[in-house]
Structure 1
Amino acid sequence: MAAHPELEARARAVAAAPAGEVPSPCVSICRMDPASGLCEGCCRTIDEIAAWSRLDDAGRREVWRRIGQRARLDAAGSGRRAVANRAAGAQE
């Protein structure tokens, strides 16, 4: 998975925004990375992508929080295994 500084910045903006409509993380680069199990464009899992339209604002903000974490881990050089483990909720 490539580093996603734009997604990390967008995740911070969503977290700081007042209540209201939460934008989709989709950037129209829809390819799942087999090593991490995350979309190469938006850093979401397939389950998060599938559930997006049914999530309330709190659920969507939680997905954005995870995206921000994943982007930071990847940018910090933690590698795909750590990002994949975190995406799956596993401990390192």
Structure 2
Amino acid sequence: MDPELLTPIPSPCINICQMVPETGLCQGCLRTIDEICAWGTASDDDKRAIWAEIRRREGEIAWK
């Protein structure tokens, strides 16, 4: 099952925490620093929206 469909919604963090300057995304989870900072207090809808962005980015980012 896709993690974004679970309840509670798990963090996308995979403990490879390195921001890539060229993309502004974390190399491990493909989130922006703002998305990472907001995760702890984000609503379920917001977390699902972040997961949707991660899925979109996965299709675009060649280094992932």
By the TM > 0.5 criterion, same fold? Answer: yes
Equivalent residues in 2 for 1:53-92 (5 A)? 53-75=40-62
Instruction: State the partner residue of 1:89.
Output: none
1:46 aligns with 2:38: no
Contact kept in structure 2, 1:14 and 1:61, CA below 8 Å: no
Q: Which ranges of structure 1 fall in alignment gaps of 5 or more residues?
A: 1-11, 80-92
Q: Which one has a larger percent strand, Structure 1 or Structure 2?
A: 2
Aligned length: 63
Give the fraction of aligned pairs with identical amino acids, expressed as a percent.
43
**Max radius of gyration: which structure?**
1
**CA offset at residue 73 of structure 1?**
1.2
Q: Which runs of 4+ in 1 moved over 6 A?
A: none
Higher relative contact order structure (alpha carbons within 8 Å, sequence separation ≥ 6): 1
Q: Deviations along 1:38-90, whole A, 9 cap, x unmatched? A: 00000000000000001011100000000000001125xxx8xxxxxxxxxxx
2:26 alignment partner, SS class = coil
1:13 aligns with 2:40: no
Q: Normalization by structure 2: what TM-score?
A: 0.87
Instruction: Indicate the RMSD between aligned Cα atoms, in angstroms.
Output: 1.9
Instruction: State the partner residue of 1:83.
Output: none
Q: Which one has a larger percent helix, Structure 1 or Structure 2?
A: 1
